[in-house]
Amino acid sequence: MENPYYAYCAGLYEGEGSIGCSFSMDYRNRNPDKKPVRKLVLKISMTDVEPLIHFADFMELGSVTGPYELASGKMLYEYRIGTFEDVKLAIDRMYPWLSPRRQKQADAAIAKYLEKGPVRRKGV
Protein backbone atom coordinates (compact mmCIF):
# COMPACT_ATOMS: atom_id res chain seq x y z
CA MET A 1 0.00 0.00 0.00
CA GLU A 2 1.19 3.49 -0.84
CA ASN A 3 2.09 5.80 2.01
CA PRO A 4 -0.86 8.25 2.30
CA TYR A 5 1.54 11.03 3.27
CA TYR A 6 3.01 10.96 -0.24
CA ALA A 7 -0.25 12.50 -1.47
CA TYR A 8 0.33 15.42 0.92
CA CYS A 9 3.88 15.74 -0.41
CA ALA A 10 2.63 15.69 -4.01
CA GLY A 11 0.16 18.47 -3.25
CA LEU A 12 2.81 20.66 -1.65
CA TYR A 13 5.27 19.99 -4.47
CA GLU A 14 2.55 20.61 -7.07
CA GLY A 15 1.87 24.08 -5.68
CA GLU A 16 5.29 25.24 -4.52
CA GLY A 17 7.99 22.92 -5.88
CA SER A 18 10.33 22.71 -8.81
CA ILE A 19 12.65 20.18 -10.38
CA GLY A 20 15.49 20.81 -12.75
CA CYS A 21 18.63 19.48 -14.28
CA SER A 22 21.52 21.90 -14.26
CA PHE A 23 25.20 21.84 -14.96
CA SER A 24 27.70 23.19 -12.49
CA MET A 25 31.29 22.98 -11.44
CA ASP A 26 31.85 20.77 -8.42
CA TYR A 27 35.17 21.78 -6.96
CA ARG A 28 34.99 19.38 -4.08
CA ASN A 29 37.20 16.32 -4.26
CA ARG A 30 34.59 14.39 -6.22
CA ASN A 31 35.47 16.18 -9.47
CA PRO A 32 39.26 16.27 -9.88
CA ASP A 33 39.01 17.03 -13.63
CA LYS A 34 37.17 20.31 -12.93
CA LYS A 35 34.60 19.58 -15.63
CA PRO A 36 30.95 20.61 -15.36
CA VAL A 37 28.74 17.95 -13.79
CA ARG A 38 25.03 17.29 -14.14
CA LYS A 39 22.87 17.93 -11.09
CA LEU A 40 19.24 16.96 -10.61
CA VAL A 41 17.58 19.02 -7.89
CA LEU A 42 14.09 19.04 -6.42
CA LYS A 43 13.25 22.00 -4.21
CA ILE A 44 10.39 23.76 -2.51
CA SER A 45 10.73 27.32 -1.22
CA MET A 46 8.23 28.81 1.22
CA THR A 47 7.92 31.42 3.93
CA ASP A 48 6.29 28.83 6.22
CA VAL A 49 8.73 26.21 7.53
CA GLU A 50 6.28 23.69 9.05
CA PRO A 51 5.01 22.21 5.75
CA LEU A 52 8.60 21.74 4.62
CA ILE A 53 9.49 19.94 7.84
CA HIS A 54 6.49 17.65 7.34
CA PHE A 55 7.55 17.05 3.73
CA ALA A 56 11.08 16.08 4.81
CA ASP A 57 9.74 13.82 7.57
CA PHE A 58 7.26 12.08 5.27
CA MET A 59 9.76 11.59 2.45
CA GLU A 60 12.68 10.70 4.72
CA LEU A 61 14.86 12.46 2.13
CA GLY A 62 16.43 15.87 1.68
CA SER A 63 16.78 18.72 4.12
CA VAL A 64 15.25 22.04 5.10
CA THR A 65 17.48 25.12 5.20
CA GLY A 66 16.95 28.73 6.16
CA PRO A 67 15.66 31.12 7.12
CA TYR A 68 16.91 33.52 4.49
CA GLU A 69 15.68 37.10 4.67
CA LEU A 70 13.97 38.39 1.55
CA ALA A 71 14.02 42.02 0.43
CA SER A 72 10.45 42.26 1.75
CA GLY A 73 11.66 41.33 5.22
CA LYS A 74 9.91 37.94 5.11
CA MET A 75 11.89 34.83 5.94
CA LEU A 76 12.26 32.12 3.30
CA TYR A 77 12.91 28.42 3.94
CA GLU A 78 13.95 25.84 1.37
CA TYR A 79 13.57 22.08 1.15
CA ARG A 80 16.06 20.49 -1.21
CA ILE A 81 17.01 17.07 -2.53
CA GLY A 82 20.21 17.10 -4.54
CA THR A 83 21.15 13.56 -5.57
CA PHE A 84 19.74 11.80 -8.60
CA GLU A 85 18.77 8.69 -6.64
CA ASP A 86 16.89 10.63 -3.96
CA VAL A 87 15.14 12.96 -6.43
CA LYS A 88 14.05 9.96 -8.50
CA LEU A 89 12.77 8.19 -5.38
CA ALA A 90 10.81 11.28 -4.27
CA ILE A 91 9.26 11.70 -7.73
CA ASP A 92 8.37 8.00 -7.88
CA ARG A 93 6.65 8.26 -4.50
CA MET A 94 4.60 11.33 -5.53
CA TYR A 95 4.00 10.46 -9.20
CA PRO A 96 0.47 8.98 -8.87
CA TRP A 97 -0.78 12.26 -7.36
CA LEU A 98 1.02 14.70 -9.66
CA SER A 99 -0.80 16.50 -12.45
CA PRO A 100 0.10 15.52 -16.02
CA ARG A 101 1.98 18.82 -16.36
CA ARG A 102 4.14 18.08 -13.31
CA GLN A 103 4.67 14.47 -14.39
CA LYS A 104 5.89 15.70 -17.79
CA GLN A 105 8.17 18.25 -16.11
CA ALA A 106 9.70 15.59 -13.84
CA ASP A 107 10.11 13.13 -16.72
CA ALA A 108 11.88 15.79 -18.81
CA ALA A 109 14.27 16.77 -16.00
CA ILE A 110 15.16 13.13 -15.32
CA ALA A 111 15.64 12.44 -19.04
CA LYS A 112 17.91 15.48 -19.38
CA TYR A 113 19.97 14.24 -16.43
CA LEU A 114 20.34 10.82 -18.03
CA GLU A 115 21.39 12.17 -21.46
CA LYS A 116 24.66 10.84 -22.75
CA GLY A 117 27.42 12.98 -24.10
CA PRO A 118 29.48 15.88 -22.84
CA VAL A 119 28.12 18.31 -20.30
CA ARG A 120 28.00 21.81 -21.70
CA ARG A 121 27.24 25.03 -19.93
CA LYS A 122 25.48 27.85 -21.78
CA GLY A 123 27.93 29.88 -23.76
CA VAL A 124 30.65 27.22 -23.53
Q: Is residue 55 part of a domain?
A: yes
Residue 104, domain extent: 5-114
Tens digit of each residue's pLDDT (9 = 90 or more) over 72-96: 999 999 999 989 999 999 999 999 9
Q: Is residue 52 part of a domain?
A: yes
Q: Is residue 77 part of a domain?
A: yes
Q: What is the pTM of this model?
A: 0.82
Q: Is residue 73 part of a domain?
A: yes
Angle of helix 5-16 relative to helix 84-94, nearest 10 degrees, comes to 110
Tens digit of each residue's pLDDT (9 = 90 or more) over 45-69: 999 999 999 999 999 999 999 999 9
How many folded domains does the chain comprise? 1
Q: By the 8 A CB rule, do 77 and 66 touch? A: yes
CATH of the domain at 42: 3.10.28.10
Tens digit of each residue's pLDDT (9 = 90 or more) over 9-59: 999 999 999 999 887 765 555 656 666 778 899 999 999 999 999 999 999
